[in-house]
Amino acid sequence: MLELFLTIIVVAGAVMLIKRKHDPKVIMFLSGILLMFMAILLGKSLLSVDETTGIAIFDVFKVSTNVFYKQLTGASFILMLLFGYTAYMNEIKATDVTIDLLSKPLKKAKSPTAILLGLFIIGNLLCIIIPSASSLSVLMMSTLFPVFVRAGISPMAVIAIIATSATIAPTPLGADNIVAAQSLGISVTDYVFNYHAKISIPALFAMGLAHIVWSRYLDKKEGLLKVEKLSETETVSSDQRPIIYGVLPLLPLLFMVYFGVFNKEASVGITEVTFFALVIAVMFEVIRTQSLNQISKNLTVFFEGMGRGFTSVVAQVVSAMIFVEGLKLIGVITLLSDYVSTIEGAGVLLVFVFCALAIGIGLLSGSGLATFYAFVEIMPNFAMAANISPILLAIPMQFVSHFVKSVSPVSPTVIITSSMSGVTPFKVIKRTIVPVLVATIVTLVLSFILL
């Protein structure tokens, strides 16, 4: 029980530091290291006889090194690659073409309901090619928000849609989907198309409908809210790029759908299709620019994007994994797993516990994904103890980790949408909380029925 007591102290301290706005990934990394040192003091071995350095203190850093090696040769490398590809798409203006093509039909629509639903769909499609929720929020607020407000759509309704766009799109390119699939021991296409999509598509549909109903109710109750100020922005022009460029950001996704659904015999992964898509994009640039110097300059952005992927997402994943290693090595995971196996109906309880963790940390830090990355690695252990599928634990927590970003006052998404429109974060949350609650309920109900 001493292991559990020490773990509670470390976790409580970590939560307090995160609440005080310290970087979650740094706190998780240090907490994991601290737990490993505590394990040594309790007389536990961190590594097997064949792997140990012979000096207990250095074993802590060898465990950490092993985590880095594992991640950088697996899921995390894929994430960096996708970030690089996204950066390259932005550099050659292909993303701008995609946005223009997707938004043109909405600009011609006359029904506010159809426009809002269309904007919600576009937001969820764009999060596939723009993995950063913050970047997507800035982009949509800069390009789409002014267009639809001037078209007579309620500004707060548009803001709420944008604030909930980057959530649970069923894509094999999603960072959280890649990490979850690897932790659960299945392919990312299997995870997304056979499990994730069954829950996410109905949940997104329910969220979209809830947006319409809730926004209409609040608009009638409060009147059409006028924003206090509107940042002066210019719509990004993509006139200099051929329309075919609009397909380039979607190429990795299209290839993954093809090989995951229509050509399962081929053993082609995300890494291969992303590199192939990059080569195709470079060929388009060769034809368009006919300048080796410009092509070389643009490709440099690809590698810079990979670096940003490491600092923004991979570092978070690695820190979460080191925290998990600390939990494992001090023995608390085994202790809790043994306890869970003795509880009647423990599976249902675990689902709610993991979701509550994501909500609690997410409200404090602005995102529950760090918590999800930390616990998805150990979900198979708990699932086995509770005699349930680990996917039943993973998907609800994963989805809730995304949803909480739209209702946290310290979330970058909420801060960006509120500041760029001149309203308070709590006005944004008032608009997003009901759609998020509806989507969460649908997620939990369908998870218990279908998973």
pLDDT digits 0-9 by tens, 416-433: 888 778 888 889 999 999
The answer to whether 258 and 176 are in contact (CB under 8 A) is: no
Tell me the pTM. 0.72
Question: Is the pLDDT confidence value at 391 over 60?
Answer: yes
Question: Is the pLDDT confidence value at 356 over 70?
Answer: yes
Question: Is the pLDDT confidence value at 366 over 50?
Answer: yes
d(C-alpha 116, C-alpha 112), whole Å = 6
HSE (side-chain half, CA atoms, 13 Å) at 214: 23
The answer to whether 310 and 80 are in contact (CB under 8 A) is: yes
Residue 179 lies in a domain: no
Residue 172 vs residue 210, higher pLDDT: 210
Residue 320 lies in a domain: yes
The answer to whether 435 and 164 are in contact (CB under 8 A) is: yes
Mean per-residue pLDDT of the chain:
84
Say what the pLDDT of residue 201 is.
94
- The residue segments making up the domain with residue 51 are 2-73+313-450
Share of the chain above pLDDT 90, in %: 30
Both 30 and 167 in a single domain?
no
Residue 198 vs residue 128, higher pLDDT: 198
Question: Is the pLDDT confidence value at 282 over 90?
Answer: yes
Question: Is the pLDDT confidence value at 249 over 80?
Answer: yes
Poorest-confidence range of 174-178, 260-264, 347-351?
Answer: 260-264
The answer to whether 277 and 251 are in contact (CB under 8 A) is: yes
Residue 119 lies in a domain: yes
Both 239 and 293 in a single domain?
yes
Q: What is the mean pLDDT of residues 159-177?
A: 87
Question: Is the pLDDT confidence value at 273 over 80?
Answer: yes
Both 151 and 167 in a single domain?
yes
Poorest-confidence range of 85-99, 104-118, 249-263, 402-416?
Answer: 104-118
Residue 180 lies in a domain: no
CA-CA-CA-CA torsion sign (123, 129, 133, 135): negative
The last residue of a domain, from among 287, 311, 335? 311
Both 289 and 169 in a single domain?
yes
Tokens 């509107």 locate to 230
Could you tell me which residues come within 8 angstroms of residue 2 by beta carbon, excluding any fewer than 6 positions away? 42
Question: Residue 151's pLDDT band (boundaries 50, 70, 90)?
Answer: low
Could you tell me which residues come within 8 angstroms of residue 384 by beta carbon, excluding any fewer than 6 positions away? 337, 390
Residue 111 lies in a domain: yes
Say what the pLDDT of residue 431 is.
93
Residue 77 vs residue 57, higher pLDDT: 57
Both 339 and 403 in a single domain?
yes
Say what the pLDDT of residue 79 is.
76
The answer to whether 131 and 174 are in contact (CB under 8 A) is: yes
The answer to whether 162 and 417 are in contact (CB under 8 A) is: yes
Backbone angles phi, psi at 229, to 5 degrees: -155, 155
Question: Is the pLDDT confidence value at 195 over 80?
Answer: yes
Both 121 and 225 in a single domain?
yes
Instruction: Compute CA 268 distance to the chain's CA centroid, rounded to the nearest angstrom.
Output: 23
Token couple for 59: 């074993």
Poorest-confidence range of 128-132, 227-231, 387-391?
Answer: 227-231
The last residue of a domain, from among 296, 311, 326? 311
* CB atoms near residue 159 (< 10 Å): 28
| Nearest CA among 305, 288, 437 for reference residue 359 | 437
Share of the chain above pLDDT 70, in %: 91
Both 262 and 128 in a single domain?
yes
d(C-alpha 450, C-alpha 34), whole Å = 40
Q: What is the mean pLDDT of residues 332-361?
A: 79
Number of domains into which the chain is organized: 2
Both 52 and 162 in a single domain?
no
d(C-alpha 425, C-alpha 319), whole Å = 29
| Nearest CA among 148, 142, 151, 97 for reference residue 120 | 148
Both 68 and 205 in a single domain?
no
Both 236 and 294 in a single domain?
yes
Residue 370 lies in a domain: yes
Both 437 and 379 in a single domain?
yes
- Highest mean pLDDT of the ranges 33-47, 61-75, 301-315: 33-47
The answer to whether 162 and 435 are in contact (CB under 8 A) is: no
Residue 350 vs residue 321, higher pLDDT: 350
Residue 181 lies in a domain: no
Taking phi over 0 as left and psi of -120 to 50 as alpha, with beta for the rest, 366 belongs to left
Residue 394 lies in a domain: yes
Both 258 and 354 in a single domain?
no
Q: What is the mean pLDDT of residues 261-283?
A: 86
The last residue of a domain, from among 257, 287, 311? 311
